Amino acid sequence: MRKIVATLIAGLFATSVFAQTTEPKAEAKAGEKVAKADAKQEKKVAKADAKVEKATAEAKEDVAEAKADAAKERASAMPNASAKARKDAAEKKAEAKADKAEAKADLQTTAASTHK
């Protein structure tokens, strides 16, 4: 009976020793798994960020192209409109000059007629 009890006690000590030595290995493996999962997650996040940056850059290019197209359309439409506007402005300026000259002439004639 003593042999059986001694064997059981020795077995308990042996299993406790092996259980303690296997825990750090299991923790190390769990740590490695966590590190791998973190690395995968970071890689996914980096890919998602790259996609967002690429989409943003493409959107900016599209906006720039749209602005350039709009400017071209305005430029192609504006020469006629701006030429007309310039012509109207020149006519108004010429009319203003003529009115000013006419007013000056009237002033001179009235001044000359009053001095006589």
User: Could you report the per-residue pLDDT of 41-83, keeping only the tens digit for each?
Assistant: 899 888 888 888 888 888 888 888 887 777 777 666 555 556 6
Query: Which pTM value belongs to this model?
Result: 0.39
Residue 116 confidence (pLDDT) above 70: no
d(CA 84, CA 89): 8
The CA-CA-CA angle for residues 38, 55, 63, to 5°, reads 155
In this structure, the number of other CB atoms found within 10 A of the CB of residue 73 comes to 10
d(CA 103, CA 96): 10
Phi, psi of 67 (to 5 degrees): -65, -40
Pairwise pLDDT comparison (50 vs 107), residue with the higher score: 50
**pLDDT-based confidence at 86, cuts 50/70/90?**
low
